[in-house]
């Protein structure tokens, strides 16, 4: 079932009398209920503006956003939760006191024990907010986004700055939220994160939506080759030129539709295979192909 429909969304800003910037330029997509939807794009792509329109923070210049088929209105505030990328917490409150404070803002909230278990807050409920690690703070902010029991949860780059273990722990929390039949809209700068937690992704660049689908669908659509990498020093120049192989970060990149056949060819040409690395295309490769640069650029 579709929970959000975005039709021909446009947002422009008047810089001066002569110049208008289109931050969002005719974007359309749908989001299914209970899915994790990833909106990806480099800085300036228009994804933050698009998300802010969906959240009701700013209005569109034209186009429409529908929730369950109805136009966006003030009532949406009670149905969504937002974890902003940067949120200040009261320094001299504990985690428990912070949860109590935010619960008082709403008529309807999730049972606090359920919230604590869902976001894994048990071990630091009595800790001062100032003493929380990066991962603990993000888990608390996630709990605050969920406290009003929203249907839709917006997560704005929630794992930026976290160590790999904390990031993976947060991925599990996202799965826990989905298990509660909630819809998640995620922006992230980490392609492995999008590939791991998103049911569907949309890629924006220069205000336009340039691709949308599930990660497996998009990878199958855009890539038929397997990538083979060897240290540049091991591959003769004439062999690279003959086969039009590319040099990527001091490695020779070989695209192959048949890995066994390619390896046999390399052995016949007496190319040493020490340091050989074989991989399939991932979302980093997809983003580079679609936009011409890596996401974090």
The per-residue pLDDT for range 127-173, each reduced to its tens digit, is: 999 999 988 999 999 999 999 999 999 998 888 888 888 889 899 99
pLDDT of residue 295: 54
Indicate whether 297 pLDDT > 90: no
Residue count (the chain)? 297
For the structural domain made of 35-56+76-220, what CATH number should be given? Answer: 3.40.50.300
Q: Residue 99: name the closest of 131, 150, 146, 136 by CA.
A: 146
What mean pLDDT is reported for the chain? 89
Helix (H), strand (E), coil (C) string for 60-109: CCEEEEEECCEECCHHHHHCEEEECCCCCCCCCCEHHHHHHHHHCCCCCC
- Mean pLDDT on 103-121: 91
pLDDT in tens, 175-219: 989 988 999 999 988 888 998 999 999 999 899 999 999 999 998
Indicate whether 251 pLDDT > 70: yes
pLDDT of residue 73: 78
- Mean pLDDT on 273-280: 90
Can you give the residue ranges of every domain in the chain? Answer: 35-56+76-220, 224-280
pLDDT of residue 293: 65
């Amino acid at each position: 079932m579709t929970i959000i429909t975005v039709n021909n969304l446009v947002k422009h800003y008047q810089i001066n009398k002569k110049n208008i910037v289109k931050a969002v330029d005719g974007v359309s997509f749908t989001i299914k209920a209970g899915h994790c939807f990833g909106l990806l794009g480099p800085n300036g792509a228009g994804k933050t503006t698009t998300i802010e329109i969906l959240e009701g923070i700013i209005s569109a210049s034209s186009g429409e956003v529908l929730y369950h088929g109805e136009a966006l209105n003030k009532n949406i505030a009670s149905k969504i939760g937002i974890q902003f990328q940067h949120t200040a917490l009261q320094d001299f409150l504990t985690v428990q006191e912070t949860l109590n404070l935010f619960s008082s803002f709403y008529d309807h909230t999730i049972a606090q024990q359920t919230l604590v278990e869902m976001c894994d807050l048990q071990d630091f409920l009595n800790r001062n907010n100032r003493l929380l690690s990066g991962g603990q703070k993000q888990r608390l902010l996630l709990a605050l986004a969920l406290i009003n029991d929203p249907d839709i949860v917006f997560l704005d780059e929630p794992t930026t700055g976290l160590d790999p273990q904390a990031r993976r722990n947060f991925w599990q929390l996202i799965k826990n939220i989905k298990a509660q039949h909630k819809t998640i809209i995620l922006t992230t700068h980490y392609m492995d994160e999008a590939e791991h937690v998103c049911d569907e992704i949309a890629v924006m660049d220069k205000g336009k939506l340039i691709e949308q689908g599930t990660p497996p669908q998009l990878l199958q659509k855009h890539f038929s080759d397997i990538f083979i990498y060897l240290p540049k020093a091991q591959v003769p120049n004439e062999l690279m030129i003959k086969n039009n192989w590319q040099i990527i970060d001091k490695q020779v990149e070989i695209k192959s539709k048949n890995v066994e056949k390619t390896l046999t060819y390399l052995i016949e040409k007496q190319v040493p295979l020490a340091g050989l690395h074989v991989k399939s295309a991932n979302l980093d490769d997809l983003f580079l192909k679609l936009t011409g640069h890596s996401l974090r650029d």
